[in-house]
Structure 1
Amino acid sequence: MVSEMGAALLRSMGRWPQWTRHNLAKGLARAAYPFIKRRAHVARVNLHKCFPNWTDEQVENTVRTHLKYFTHSLLDRSLFWFGDKQAIYDNTVFIDEHYWQEARAKNRPIIVLAPHFTGLDVAGLRMNMDLEMATMYQKQRNPVFDALMLEGRMRSGQGHLFSRHDGIRGLVKLLRKNIPLYYLPDMDFGINDAIFSTFFGQTAATLTALPKLAKLTDALIVPCISRIDAEALARGETRYKIQFYPAWDGYPGDDEAQAVRDMNAFIEERILEEPAQYLWFHKRFKTRPAGEADFYTTNTTNTTNTTNSIKK
């Protein structure tokens, strides 16, 4: 019942005035902080591991800022999934779009490398409004919200959505038909179909699907980073920046491990530009090599109780 009510609210929110949704997200981010202790702990651990020279105050400020961005992006999904289609165009801006257009002009398979930044849903939808595309998704435990997500992401009528459990055969077929794949490569789903690579100097289970798919299909890799426009947000406006980067041709080469590391290095560089807009609530270092302790067990880190008294 609660899930159905939440789904109905999200649907209706897409038609709300922008300022109403903005103020609700702002208030929710402030109110939610005391109730997200587990996720805040995960984010602190991630940040301390990735930025060991940061102070507790720097980490805490980033967690709070990330919660703000995360809450806005969550509520903004209502606009992009169920609002007027024109809103997808009105509230997004392409940066360095020529890299995307140049890649498409080569008439080759394309994989859009789209790490987990705050605007990842928005970028995929915006691009899918212009052309047929494929993407992968992680099935949600809640069936109501799983169906809601599928409906929102498929709203263009020209999308192909594959569960991560479906394998890559269908994706390969579409890529060979020059249907671009919007691919999110940077979550820890265990060591199956992954290898241990480094991420900000930490050992991290990293999926190998990007180099495998690129090698099978001779695809160009076009990196795409999508973020909330912080200046627009400060004015109470909804705006997402979708930035493209030069295509990677010849990727992955002959060394899969190096190709995976190159991908992680690129993501690291983008995170350093706006650290608070990366998805720190995910247990990026959940899978550990044999014999290594869990990073997220409360007593393995001193970050759990360091920051309740720190004020932003």
Structure 2
Amino acid sequence: MSKRKQQSRRPLWHPAYWPSWCVVFLLYALAKLPESIKRRWSQGLGRWLSQRLSSRARVVDANLRACMPELSDDERAALVESSFVSCTRGLFESLQCWWGDTDTWQEESRVEGMEHLQEAIDRNRGVLMIGGHYSILDLALPLVGRHLTKPGYMYRPNDNPVIDRMIEQGRRRHFNIRPFSKRQLKDMIGFLKQGGQVWYGCDQDFGRKTDVFAPFFGVDTGCISTPTYIARESGASVLCVSHVRMPCGRYRVAFSPILENFGDCPRQDALSWNGFIEETVRAYPDQYLWLHKRFKTRPAGAAAIY
């Protein structure tokens, strides 16, 4: 019996999961700290992690070398540290999203391109929103969801059922948002056909599922054609969305114009969302999830980046 199947048969209170419950209780306690402390801790903890997690820091450095070769060594080192600080801040923001109140953050967020989203909703054939993995992490769902009438999102379940329960219950607190796992693609297409609006972050390396390459910061980057399939089968309007933390501490959500020909060509579709994400990252370079091995899958004959 595989480890995953064995886990799925265990009740969540099984002693094997007690360490995971300890993590949940610790994170819950952190979520209840005053915001000023969480902000201060994210600075120190982020800098500390950038030194302690050397293998992950090398991933960030390799990503930045590939995407921003114009940076000097000192500039790149500073951005590596800033990326860790930003992601650590994002963890605390996610904890607030799971167990706290985010109403003020939502109300004070700046929204750009709302007319594009409204046009897509008014077409009444569903909206597929191609997002990216930025450092605010799960806070993206309520920030975007407050502008939707029938929200949903695509997600990958966590391998640990206790941690998965923590994350998914936290996400579903907001706006009755509906989740869809990768095994529920047909359900999600049906949801879109009924006028649903789904956030889908497809900007990660999917390994063997990679079936198209498109430039991202000038690097041929592995992508998947699933968004093209979803758009074609559902008939949904497609646009891109970004969600970042601004230097002032508030948040910005931006919707692109509707991508009218999305669904015709997987590579052109990948070019569209890669270009939108790249534009956002250039404006907020510390906000992208550089810790991910985005370029692990390479075109035939291309040199490895990691």
Question: 1:90 deviation in Å?
Answer: 4.5
Question: 1:108 deviation in Å?
Answer: 2.3
Counterpart CA distance in 2 for 1:120 and 1:97 is 21
1:141 corresponds to 2:159: yes
Q: 2:279 aligns with which of 269, 277, 284?
A: 269
Between stretches 63-72 and 140-149, larger displacement belongs to: 140-149
Are the counterparts in 2 of residues 109 and 179 from structure 1 also a CA contact under 8 Å? yes
Q: Secondary structure at the match of 2:60?
A: helix
Change (3 A) 1:90 1:18: farther
Q: 1:250 aligns with which of 261, 270, 280?
A: 261
Q: 1:171 aligns with which of 188, 199, 202?
A: 188
Change (3 A) 1:93 1:14: farther
Q: Secondary structure at the match of 1:284?
A: coil
Q: Secondary structure at the match of 1:277?
A: coil
Q: Secondary structure at the match of 2:129?
A: strand
Consecutive unaligned residues of structure 1, counting only runs of 5 or more, are 233-238, 297-312
Q: What amino acid sits opposite 1:98 in the alignment? A: E
Residue identity (%)? 28
Change (3 A) 1:120 1:209: farther
Change (3 A) 1:34 1:273: same
Instruction: Please list, as runs of the form range in 1=range in 2, the aligned pairs for 1:48-59 lying within 5 A after superposition.
Output: 48-59=65-76
- In the alignment, which residue of structure 1 is the partner of 2:170? 152
Question: 1:224 deviation in Å?
Answer: 1.2
Are the counterparts in 2 of residues 196 and 206 from structure 1 also a CA contact under 8 Å? yes
- In the alignment, which residue of structure 2 is the partner of 1:122? 139
Q: 1:289 aligns with which of 268, 289, 299?
A: 299
Question: 1:145 deviation in Å?
Answer: 1.9
Change (3 A) 1:167 1:193: farther
Are the counterparts in 2 of residues 120 and 227 from structure 1 also a CA contact under 8 Å? no
Are the counterparts in 2 of residues 79 and 87 from structure 1 also a CA contact under 8 Å? no
Change (3 A) 1:27 1:90: farther
Question: 1:214 deviation in Å?
Answer: 1.2
RMSD: 2.1
In the comparison of the two structures, how many residue pairs are matched? 288
Are the counterparts in 2 of residues 80 and 87 from structure 1 also a CA contact under 8 Å? no
Q: What amino acid sits opposite 2:258 in the alignment? A: A
Question: 1:157 deviation in Å?
Answer: 6.0
1:34-86 deviations in whole A, cap 9, x for unaligned?
Answer: 21111110011111111222222221111111111110011111111110353
Question: 1:150 deviation in Å?
Answer: 0.8
Counterpart CA distance in 1 for 2:102 and 2:91 is 18
- In the alignment, which residue of structure 2 is the partner of 1:39? 56
Between stretches 71-80 and 82-91, larger displacement belongs to: 82-91
Q: Secondary structure at the match of 1:281?
A: coil
- In the alignment, which residue of structure 2 is the partner of 1:84? 101
- TM-score when scaled to structure 2? 0.86
Counterpart CA distance in 1 for 2:149 and 2:162 is 28
Question: 1:244 deviation in Å?
Answer: 1.9
Between stretches 153-162 and 109-118, larger displacement belongs to: 153-162
Counterpart CA distance in 2 for 1:167 and 1:206 is 20
Q: What amino acid sits opposite 1:203 in the alignment? A: D
Counterpart CA distance in 1 for 2:255 and 2:136 is 13
Q: 2:26 aligns with which of 9, 12, 23?
A: 9
